[in-house]
Structure 1
Amino acid sequence: MVKTKHLENQSVIANVDWLSIFLYAVLVIFGWMNIYSASLPLEETSIFDLGQIYGKQLLFIGLTIPMIIVLLSLDTKVYEKYSLIYYVIGIVLLMGLFVFGKTIKGQTNWYQFGGISLQPSEFAKIGTALFLSKYITESQTTFQTLKEQAIAMGIIFLPVAFIMLQPDAGSAMIFAVLFLVLYREGFPGWYLWTGFLAMLLFILALVIQPVFLILLIVAGCVIHFFYNKNISRNPFIYAILAVIMSGFVFSVDYVFDNVLESHQKDRINVLLGDDVNMKKEGYNLNQSMIAIGSGGWIGKGFLEGTQTKGGFVPEQHTDYIFTTVGEEWGFAGSIVVITCFITLVLRIVYLSEKQKNNFARIYGYCVAAILFMHFFVNVSMLIGIFPTIGVPLPFFSYGGSSLIAFTLLLFIFLKLDANKVNEW
């Protein structure tokens, strides 16, 4: 029995997806190089100096190595069996912020233990992904009933509610991508289309006069009604939809003026081309675009970025770390980083499709969706096609919570994938 178990463990290690590990290592190492460049002080110091940002990040990277070994050594049943516990721990940590959390720039989303900070929302994503996968697998749901749909949405929205109260709209937004996973598992598509349409109408209502937008809505409903080949189409349904969408359009101004925080309104206005707000909230965006554009095709060279060295881009080692890539490594380096991220996400999707275990497959989709959402939002906001929000670039941005959480998220799946040789 011992010999058989030993052979099983050998087969699991042998079947770890080394391509994913290689891509992870490339992103982590290259990310540290850019953090080093973005935070290098004028005086020469050791790369292990824990008083410097790059020294702390190197420590965090070192901590992930034993953690990865433990993750790949644990029995896969630990992740599925105790998924509810991980989810509850995440919720409790989010709730605890309102009592023990530290408020930074108006957001209470960190625990502070001496010189160590912890952001629970990063770890709540892991617990939510695990428990959501467990629920779908165990209930064998096809999402045909309202109860099944409500439970799945509740699993996602519960941590989102606490994160929004911090308030941290950027972290909360990431959870929305899990609806793509639900859709993949049979969730009604009209939820996604409704969400997409609501966002589109919200944006259009900010740039188009409500009366003209409502005329467009009515015209669209009329055209769709007459071109819809479904014999059972009901004109009253179209009329109700037109009224609901029109009411939503009229509510946008109220929501924008009375619900959104002032900095959120400013960032949206910047995205819409408001010159007044560009001088204030748009400063970071403007500086990041200058830094990225100044890199040209091949960049200025490692440690040679003038924008980076001059400190013109605020928070460059965290959410704006990609600007260092653009300036010092140019278009070529940016494409390499983007290719690594896209390849890793597609690799996870590919491995997920090959899973024999439904829990591992669904969790793999969650991992791919979360990583892609972070990557897409982070890069998009730096080039001015998405509002500026606090979303780190996975494996790249400075921060122990971010790096450790993303490492946990990825290597739990790689362990589940490696174990598929023992699944029947």
Structure 2
Amino acid sequence: MRREGGLFGDLDWLVVFLYFILVTLGWFNIFASVYDPVQEQSIFDLTLESGKQLLWIGTSVILITVILLLDFRIYESFAPILYFVMVLLLAGVLVFGREVNGAKAWFEIGAFRLQPAEFTKLATALFMARYVSTNHVKLTDFSTQVKVLLMIIIPIGLIQLQPDTGSSMVFAALLIPLYREGFPAIYLILGISIAVLFILTLLLPQQYIFIGIGTLTLLAILFQEKTRKRIFATLIMTIVVSGFVLGTDYFLNEVLKEYQRKRIEAIFRPELVDPQAEGWNLEQSKIAIGSGGFSGKGFLEGTQTKFGYVPEQSTDFIFSTLAEEHGWLGSAVMIFLFIALILRIVFIAERQKSKFARFYGYAVAGIIFFHFTINIAMTIGLFPVVGIPLPFFSYGGSSLWSFTIMLFVLLKIDMHRAQVLSRS
């Protein structure tokens, strides 16, 4: 066992540095998104979102200190309890929560608001890591596959009842550590195939889709082993895929809420959407990003930002503020910082000696990666608009706290990796 170099001597300071750089840049961009040039405003003004975010940053530093001082074994030991508590809170928020923007997702006590879904990602990652790291558990067993998928599906179902599609989608990131530990690839292939087919049905006329399905079916029958069982399986698959294509319109019009359908159509069928109504957020975001050019208009100089053209400017669409004021160059720097952070987290995950720590590390990397990519893709028109914050940038205490706790729990576990016997 190696000797630790002081209280925080084995802390990964590169991740700490990247964290504080991203949080600081996020804080300045929140101020830029709410700044009114007519009034003399300070970034420290507690009536502004930037001032309130500074309070969340200060409390995050306290959380970091507590996390690093606690025994690292506590996070694995209490993972099941934390998971079930968060599931109860997700159920409770449906009854006692406050509705904001059509979603009943927050507990409100005075001026304090807490979103359980943000912390449930952390709890689910820890719980799954503990379960998967148990000696008798094998991800190749079907019963185990069902159990780990249920751990993800339960919070997704409760979050969708709020409804909060963005938060529920992020739980798909927990498939990344599962595949790292040997989860069958067929589930990933199936999921990607369904997503691609869904997009194709939105982009192409149905007759073209059916011509393609028929051609692939014919080729499969001609070139595969011509046994009755294989031909029957091919025909069944063709029927299932055809039914999926026929059911797409029903899903859009009858299952999804109208605003959800409009957001999907804004990306894939823009001719059906009113740019002055449902397509407004996305259109204004793209204008703001495009107007930034190479180096941007300068800090606090963004016109789209200052005149309130982009809704949810300090939260979901914070990237448009950065891109308008700092251009392609500033956006590239921010993207580089996120990629560096994610790669470093993967590196940390790979050097762990326990399966629990490795699984959790990949879960943290996956969750940050999903938030980062979906948020930016959403603001530039490559993904439907869903309420999902940009880590460390978007305004909000629940988001900042959850990412802070998630990241520094990993760093705390990593500090003691030499004390953990390998169970990989």
Match of 2:367 in 1: 370
Contact 1:266 1:277 survives alignment (8 Å): no
Match of 1:37 in 2: 32
The amino acid across from 1:235 in the alignment is: I
SS in 1 for 2:359: helix
Taking the aligned partners of 2:95 and 2:411, their CA distance within structure 1 comes to 36
1:175-199 per-residue CA deviation (whole Å, 9 max, x = no partner) reads 0121122122111111111111111
Taking the aligned partners of 1:93 and 1:133, their CA distance within structure 2 comes to 21
Contact 2:203 2:269 survives alignment (8 Å): no
Contact 1:95 1:162 survives alignment (8 Å): yes
Taking the aligned partners of 2:393 and 2:317, their CA distance within structure 1 comes to 10
Taking the aligned partners of 2:228 and 2:10, their CA distance within structure 1 comes to 53
Contact 2:202 2:269 survives alignment (8 Å): no
What is the CA-CA distance between 1:228 and the residue it aligns to?
Answer: 5.2
1:16-68 per-residue CA deviation (whole Å, 9 max, x = no partner) reads 11111111111000000000111123322443322111100000001111110
What is the CA-CA distance between 1:11 and the residue it aligns to?
Answer: 5.3
What is the CA-CA distance between 1:254 and the residue it aligns to?
Answer: 1.0
Taking the aligned partners of 1:31 and 1:254, their CA distance within structure 2 comes to 41
SS in 1 for 2:105: strand
Match of 1:265 in 2: 261
Unaligned stretches of 5+ in structure 2?
none
Match of 1:111 in 2: 107
TM-score, normalization by structure 2: 0.95
Contact 1:100 1:111 survives alignment (8 Å): yes
Give me the CA root mean square deviation. Answer: 1.9
Taking the aligned partners of 2:347 and 2:257, their CA distance within structure 1 comes to 40
Q: Do the aligned partners of residues 317 and 230 (structure 1) sit closer, same or farther apart at CA in structure 2, a change above 3 Å counting?
A: farther
Q: Answer yes or no: is 1:23 the counterpart of 2:15.
A: no
Q: Do the aligned partners of residues 221 and 18 (structure 1) sit closer, same or farther apart at CA in structure 2, a change above 3 Å counting?
A: farther
Taking the aligned partners of 1:251 and 1:375, their CA distance within structure 2 comes to 31
Q: Do the aligned partners of residues 361 and 140 (structure 1) sit closer, same or farther apart at CA in structure 2, a change above 3 Å counting?
A: farther
Q: Answer yes or no: is 1:58 the counterpart of 2:54.
A: yes
Match of 2:81 in 1: 85
Q: Which of 167, 171, 186 pairs up with 1:175?
A: 171
1:1-400 aligned within 5 A: 10=5, 13-41=8-36, 42-227=38-223, 234-275=230-271, 276-400=273-397
SS in 1 for 2:183: coil
Taking the aligned partners of 1:225 and 1:132, their CA distance within structure 2 comes to 41
Taking the aligned partners of 2:335 and 2:217, their CA distance within structure 1 comes to 40
Taking the aligned partners of 1:204 and 1:223, their CA distance within structure 2 comes to 20
Q: Which of 415, 418, 423 pairs up with 1:421?
A: 418
Q: Do the aligned partners of residues 228 and 186 (structure 1) sit closer, same or farther apart at CA in structure 2, a change above 3 Å counting?
A: farther
Taking the aligned partners of 1:393 and 1:228, their CA distance within structure 2 comes to 47
Unaligned stretches of 5+ in structure 1?
none
1:345-372 per-residue CA deviation (whole Å, 9 max, x = no partner) reads 1111111111001111000000000000
SS in 1 for 2:8: helix
SS in 2 for 1:234: helix
Taking the aligned partners of 1:30 and 1:206, their CA distance within structure 2 comes to 38
What is the CA-CA distance between 1:10 and the residue it aligns to?
Answer: 4.0
Contact 2:173 2:367 survives alignment (8 Å): yes
Taking the aligned partners of 2:7 and 2:189, their CA distance within structure 1 comes to 41
The size of the alignment, in residue pairs, is 419
Q: Do the aligned partners of residues 231 and 33 (structure 1) sit closer, same or farther apart at CA in structure 2, a change above 3 Å counting?
A: farther
